[in-house]
A and B are shown apart, each in its own frame.
Chain A
Amino acid sequence: KAGVTQTPRYLIKTRGQQVTLSCSPISGHRSVSWYQQTPGQGLQFLFEYFSETQRNKGNFPGRFSGRQFSNSRSEMNVSTLELGDSALYLCASSPGQGGDYGYTFGSGTRLTVV
């Protein structure tokens, strides 16, 4: 069974640009959640999608958005990039009710904003 796939693995962007990150969950998993990992703030929840609907959102500005497609693949977008957006972005998939099954994480996309 293929794991959670995130693309691209690395990105370098300039301040003010926008970026789109992609996550393909484990086959059959319908929930995808996104996290930002930084040395200063640790792992912080961004948002979660289930069956193409955003069910939960963290405390991030509106520049951070996401969506989920009918095949459960998800994308997150960050507009007007700031230096502080440099981080490792992780996505996690679960069948639906993650508390029963846990969450499987991808390797992440490392975004560097210069």
Chain B
Amino acid sequence: AQRVTQPEKLLSVFKGAPVELKCNYSYSGSPELFWYVQYSRQRLQLLLRHISRESIKGFTADLNKGETSFHLKKPFAQEEDSAMYYCALRGGYNKLIFGAGTRLAVHP
């Protein structure tokens, strides 16, 4: 079965603390994984895709096929990082399978 699991509904941290948003997937084959972010009252935006191995806004994510994980990390959280984060798996053609999402709250 194709599935994406984000175990935390809410992650609450203080400004300057490290952040790790967890994502595990189930997929038979070579996965294509993404992180999307939705800031308050804004549209869903692509944050990262594992193919490009970019670092966007200080966030990175590494695909670990052995642990079937694609966790999102940032060494020092900022208040403007507060948003809803979705991990997604491309499950054939242009079908994205989303996790339930994790709300990141960064407190001053």
Interface residues of chain A, those whose CB is within 8 Å of chain B, are: 3, 31, 33, 35, 42-45, 48, 50, 55-56, 58, 90, 92, 94, 97-100, 102-108
Given A42-B98, A42-B100: A108 in contact with B93 (beta carbons within 8 A): no
CA distance A108 to B96 in the complex (A): 16
Contact A55 B93 (CB under 8 A): yes
How many whole Å from B44's CB to the nearest CB in chain A? 4
A-B contact count (CB 8 A): 60
Contacts of B96 in A (CB 8 A): 33, 35, 43, 45, 92, 98, 103
CA distance A104 to B99 in the complex (A): 18
Contact B95 A105 (CB under 8 A): no
CA distance A35 to B51 in the complex (A): 23
Interface residues of chain B, those whose CB is within 8 Å of chain A, are: 32, 34, 36, 43-46, 49, 51, 86, 90-101
Contacts of A98 in B (CB 8 A): 90, 94, 96
How many whole Å from A86's CB to the nearest CB in chain B? 19
How many whole Å from B61's CB to the nearest CB in chain A? 14
CB within 8 A of A56: which of B36, B43, B94, B100? B94
CA distance A56 to B98 in the complex (A): 16
Which chain A residue shows the least CB distance to B99?
A: A42
How many whole Å from A51's CB to the nearest CB in chain B? 12
Contact A56 B93 (CB under 8 A): yes
Contact A107 B101 (CB under 8 A): no
